[in-house]
Amino acid sequence: MAKATFSILRGEAGGGQLVDYTTEVTEGMVVLDAVHQIQAESAGDLACRWNCKAGKCGSCSAEIDGQPRLMCMTRLNQLDLTKPVTIEPMKAFPHFKDLVTDVSWNYRVKKGITKFTPRKPDAADGTWRMHQEDVDRAQEFRKCIECFLCQDVCHVLRDHHLHDEFIGPRFLVYTANLEMNPIDTENRLDELRKLHGIGYCNITKCCTKVCPEEIKITDNAIIPLKERVVDHAFDPLAKLIGLVTGKIPGP
């Protein structure tokens, strides 16, 4: 049987070093399988998060050979196994232990975004009429599995640590989902500009590249939001319409 070596970051907050583990690899294995195997064989206390093992829950985010990816969806045959495969935790969040980081900031950010508020139901039975074309856009954003890989690569968070001023691509996608929900009545354009730092994004598209759900974060969420924010802030007429209708017409 073939063997491969994995260099895994071990240790607690602040400290830690790469430790090599060699284990058997079999057909079809993914990185998460290797981590589990290592746990069972020789490192029972190796900390990592996972749930679904099928790319659906967004728990197992890590940096594999420097690339932000889901461990459960990264096949070993896509990696160069002739040298040790490095597995490290996401770097944009405080390290906790081994592959686990403290992602609680993301949950606090979400709470700060104005919540969904629907218009009055369209039909007497309390339901709404929406056509597939109307929901397509928001449905793309609702595919998000909250893996936070996009947050991890965004330089505003990763390198500049502006967590207090910028909500990051994940929550721009979240805001876009609310803004493009056909029955929502809120307007989040002011908070996007003033509180949530949409202006920090300079459209590098790094977030889009790593999204395992292939959400076109920049093109479909951020850029349209930016356009709306600009229109809203500088167009007095749009502002007036916004005040009256509670909604800004899309670009």
Partner 1 sequence: MADYQTFDHDVLVIGAGGAGLRAAIEAAGAGVSVGLVCKSLLGKAHTVMAEGGMAAAIGNVDDRDNWKVHFTDTLRGGQYVNNWRMAELHAKEAPDRVKELEAWGALFDRTKDGRILQRNFGGHRYPRLAHVGDRTGLEMIRTLQDHGIHQGIDVHMEVTVTTLLKRGDRVCGALAYDRQQGQFRLFRAKAIVLATGGVGRAYQITSNSWEYSGDGQALAYEAGAALMDMEFIQFHPTGMVWPPSVRGILVTEGVRGEGGVLLNNRGERFMFGDIPDNYKAQTADNPEEGWRYTQGDKNARRPPELLTRDHVARCIVREVREGRGSPHGGVFLDIQWIKEKLPNAAEHIRKKLPSMYHQFKQLADIDITKQPMEIGPTTHYIMGGIRVDGDSQMSNVPGLYAAGESAAGLHGANRLGGNSLSDLLVFGKRAGEYAARFAKDNPAVAPDAGEVNERITEALAPLERKNGESPYRIQQDLQTMMQDLVGIVRQEDEMVRAAEGLAKLKERATRVSAAGNRQYNPGWHTAIDLKNLLTVSEAVILSAIARKESRGGHFRDDYPEKKPEFGGHNHLINRAADGSMKLVAQPIPPMPDELKRIVEEMK
What is the DSSP pairing of strand 85-88 with strand 2-10? parallel
218 contributes a contact to ligand SF4 by CB under 6 A: yes
Contact with ligand SF4 (CB under 6 A) among 192, 207, 225, 229: 207
99 contributes a contact to ligand SF4 by CB under 6 A: no
67 contributes a contact to ligand FES by CB under 6 A: no
Estimate the crossing angle of helix 223-234 against helix 236-245, to 10 degrees.
100
52 contributes a contact to ligand FES by CB under 6 A: yes
Q: C-beta of 73: minimal distance to ligand SF4 in Å? A: 11
Contacted entry of ligand SF4, partner 1, ligand FES, none for residue 115, CB cut-off 5 to 8 Å set by kind: partner 1
Helices of type H across the chain: 31-41, 104-111, 132-142, 149-153, 155-158, 168-179, 189-194, 206-210, 223-234, 236-245
Nearer to partner 1, 57 or 162 (CB): 57
Residues in the chain: 251
Stretch that binds ligand FES, among 5-13, 45-53, 85-93, 97-105 (CB under 6 A): 45-53
179 contributes a contact to ligand SF4 by CB under 6 A: no
C-beta of residue 143 within 8 angstroms of C-beta of residue 213: yes
Stretch that binds ligand SF4, among 38-46, 76-84, 86-94, 215-223 (CB under 6 A): 215-223
C-beta of residue 2 within 8 angstroms of C-beta of residue 25: yes
C-beta of residue 108 within 8 angstroms of C-beta of residue 28: no
Stretch that binds ligand SF4, among 9-17, 81-89, 109-117, 211-219 (CB under 6 A): 211-219
154 contributes a contact to ligand SF4 by CB under 6 A: yes
Contacted entry of ligand SF4, partner 1, ligand FES, none for residue 169, CB cut-off 5 to 8 Å set by kind: ligand SF4
217 contributes a contact to ligand SF4 by CB under 6 A: yes
Residue 217 to residues 46, 118, 176, 240, 243: CA-CA distances in angstroms? 33, 24, 10, 29, 28
Contact with ligand SF4 (CB under 6 A) among 32, 38, 156, 192: 156
- Contacts with ligand FES: how many residues (CB under 6 A)? 12
Distance CA(206)–CA(122), nearest Å, equals 40
Q: C-beta of 240: minimal distance to ligand FES in Å? A: 45
205 contributes a contact to ligand FES by CB under 6 A: no
16 contributes a contact to ligand FES by CB under 6 A: no
Candidates 40, 44, 100; CA nearest to 71 is 100
Q: Which residue has the tokens 């993301």?
A: 106
Distance CA(109)–CA(120), nearest Å, equals 28
Contact residues for ligand SF4, defined by CB under 6 A: 58, 144-150, 153-154, 156, 169-170, 173, 201-207, 210-213, 215, 217-218, 222
